[in-house]
Amino acid sequence: MNCDILSTLYVKSNGEILCNDDFGERVSLGSCRQSADDPDIHQTLNNDRYQNIREALKNDRTPWPEVCENCSFFRPDEPYSNDLLQKRIIQKIQIEASLACALKCPECSNLIQIKTRSGGRHFTPEMMADLLGDLKENHYQIRSIEYCGQGEPLNNPRFPELLATARKIYPDTLQRVITNGNHDFAKTINSEYVEETVVAIDGAFQESYEKYRVKGSITKAFKFLNDAIACQKPKGGIVVWKYVLFETNDSERELLEAQRLGDEFGVTRLWFVHSHTGNRSKKYTYDNPHTIPIQYSNVKIDSHPSYFRHAITIIPDEFPHKITGNDSIKCMIAVDRVVIHENGSINISGWANSQTKLSHVTLEIEDQKVGDLAFVVRRPDAGELYPVFSEVLCGFDSLLPPSAVSIKPGQGMNFHLCSDQDRVATFALAPQVKVIVPSQVPNRISGDNSVVCLMHIDQVLIYKNGSIRVSGWANSQAKLSHVTLEIEDQKVGDLTFTMRRPIINELHPVFTEVLCGFDALLPPSAVSIKPGQVMNFHLCNNQDRVATFTLDLN
Ligand code: SF4
């Protein structure tokens, strides 16, 4: 049993931490610190309520009976994973920047919450600094900060300060703003960089738009969308038009007009989203996602999280993320997530890049084609990590229709990286090898408060005969001699530095050592590696262990 609350933190405008942004809003898990005597966030994440969630999910019990069953984030079929306390990786902090909103959307709980919730209506930069500062001190990684809740984030008069505070404390964390766009861009975002701006505009015409977005102006929302495109896209930001499908905005004419406008404006993506409310579109539903008339490749079909309850998510740890093409061209692929929906359609997101121009990726299972993945998402992170690639539009995030070929966990998938004429390279999941992909684990650690250490595992291959191949790099301000790998406190072997990795020094000038890469084949060990176990990588100098990096095999 699983739930993403153990990798997500949902913080209300008044500082309360609740059990996610749905039915679980009835359950309080703690609060941001009001005074120095209050528990800090690390203590909160280990309080009795969080322990109850962990123990219940591990033992296939619902943490909050009669609540979880109604919650969009409940995943009864998925194995337990994502323990935030153990891994110290927060996939998302969702901040309700403001509970105020000028619009009156009929299905929104905003008015009830304003009447029933006590405390502040706007989350303050001071609360943000305290929360993030605590997380930083406790060595948490934060993958994204999302501004969204039961109010409109940009109604917070100090919104640019929230963005700036987060940027200062966690400079590399992705920030995502979800807004109704009925705002002046210059006043609400100012010059702050936002990696992802999602503007919810449910319609292409004012008459249908205002049937749900009551009191909203589509002209204002379009202006905001265009300003966001002009300001954020040149900096590498993504700007998404999110269009929830209702009975009142699902005519073919309107869906085609939205696509035409999206193309004219230059949105990164246009999402059509299936709603779960009473006024949802009955024509275009979760059960027939591919009947929407689509004319542009940047359109994405998505569904409210409640539809994902019985989906199977294949964890990307099972995919190698690195391949080389025909001896001369470097190619790489990273699969972030594969979701096999109950209705047979398949969501696949990730990126692929090559030194030669790619046109798409073709997915085959057991030699039968499942579909093509188009490059519709800008992934500047791929180029930053691997400067050998110059193409930024290398991300895919596709919903493939139900296929004659069913995908099951453990089956062999072939991803063919294609140019217009040819297959440039193929990435296959070798069934006899268990592959652990590093993107899912922390790749950054600090030593004993004074020595900066970083580590990155490119990949771990566990062969059927028990030998283990580990490649990656480790560097430190202190001289390192080797890395020792232990599993469950038993030594498996030493990784010696045999490869020059000058790019690491360019990326992190704090380090001077260039010979910091390893690519070692460790012999079969008395310690076998199984999912659920923990690998410890100890960064050592001749006398001592300088720091330890933990990789959880869940
Ligand atoms: S399923 Fe239960 S534990 Fe998970 S977010 Fe919802 S209420 Fe919380």
Q: What is the pLDDT of residues 211-234, one digit of tens each?
A: 999 999 999 999 999 999 999 999
CA of 6 to the centre of ligand 1 (A): 9
Tens digit of each residue's pLDDT (9 = 90 or more) over 337-382 = 777 777 778 888 888 998 889 999 999 887 788 888 989 888 887 8
Q: Which two tokens stand for residue 413?
A: 């998938």
Does ligand 1 lie within 6 Å of residue 315's CB atom?
no
- Number of the ligand 1 atom closest to the C-alpha atom of 67: 7
**Which of 1, 2, 3, 53 is the pocket-test mutation for ligand 1 (most atoms within 8 Å of CB)?**
3
Does ligand 1 lie within 6 Å of residue 5's CB atom?
yes
- Number of the ligand 1 atom closest to the C-alpha atom of 57: 3
CA of 17 to the centre of ligand 1 (A): 13
Q: Choose the most confident range, by mean pLDDT, from 246-250, 285-289, 291-295.
A: 246-250
**Cα–Cα distance measured from residue 371 to residue 361, given in angstroms and rounded to the nearest whole number:** 9
Asked if 323 and 354 touch (Cβ cutoff 8 Å), the reply is: no
Residue nearest to atom 8 of ligand 1 (CA): 19
What is the average pLDDT value for the chain, to the nearest integer? 84
- Number of the ligand 1 atom closest to the C-alpha atom of 26: 7
CA of 273 to the centre of ligand 1 (A): 22
pLDDT band at 450 (very low <50, low <70, confident <90, very high): low
Tens digit of each residue's pLDDT (9 = 90 or more) over 167-191 = 999 998 999 999 999 999 999 998 9
Q: Choose the most confident range, by mean pLDDT, from 3-7, 302-306, 384-388, 455-459.
A: 3-7
- Number of the ligand 1 atom closest to the C-alpha atom of 22: 6
pLDDT band at 431 (very low <50, low <70, confident <90, very high): very low
pLDDT band at 430 (very low <50, low <70, confident <90, very high): very low
Residue nearest to atom 4 of ligand 1 (CA): 3
Tens digit of each residue's pLDDT (9 = 90 or more) over 70-118 = 998 888 877 777 667 767 888 899 999 999 988 888 888 887 888 888 8
Asked if 268 and 234 touch (Cβ cutoff 8 Å), the reply is: no
Does ligand 1 lie within 6 Å of residue 53's CB atom?
yes
**Cα–Cα distance measured from residue 296 to residue 243, given in angstroms and rounded to the nearest whole number:** 15
Burial class (CB in 10 A: 0-12, 13-18, 19+), 447: middle
CA of 9 to the centre of ligand 1 (A): 12
In the prediction, which pLDDT does 339 show? 79
**Residue 167, helix vs strand vs coil:** helix
Q: What is the DSSP string of 19-65?
A: S-SSGGGGSEEEE--SSTTS--HHHHTTSHHHHHHHHHHHTT--SST
Task: Decide if pLDDT at 317 tops 60.
Answer: no
pLDDT band at 312 (very low <50, low <70, confident <90, very high): low
Q: Mean per-residue pLDDT for 19-41?
A: 90
Contacts of 161 (CB under 8 A, 6+ apart): 125
Q: Report all structural domains of the chain as residue ranges with CATH numbers, in order of start.
A: 2-179 (no CATH), 312-428 (2.60.40), 434-552 (2.60.40)
Q: Which two tokens stand for residue 442?
A: 């922390």
**Which of 22, 58, 68, 84 is the pocket-test mutation for ligand 1 (most atoms within 8 Å of CB)?**
68
**Which of 16, 57, 73 is the pocket-test mutation for ligand 1 (most atoms within 8 Å of CB)?**
73
Q: Mean per-residue pLDDT for 277-296?
A: 88
Backbone phi and psi for residue 133, each to the nearest 5 degrees, phi listed first: -60, -45
Asked if 5 and 62 touch (Cβ cutoff 8 Å), the reply is: no
Does ligand 1 lie within 6 Å of residue 3's CB atom?
yes
CA of 314 to the centre of ligand 1 (A): 21
Does ligand 1 lie within 6 Å of residue 7's CB atom?
no
Instruction: Output the CA–CA distances (angstroms, integers) from residue 40 to 134, 383, 448, 540, in the order listed.
Output: 7, 37, 21, 32
Higher pLDDT, 8 or 535: 8
Instruction: Output the CA–CA distances (angstroms, integers) from residue 135 to 29, 87, 143, 243, 270, in the order listed.
Output: 16, 13, 12, 34, 34
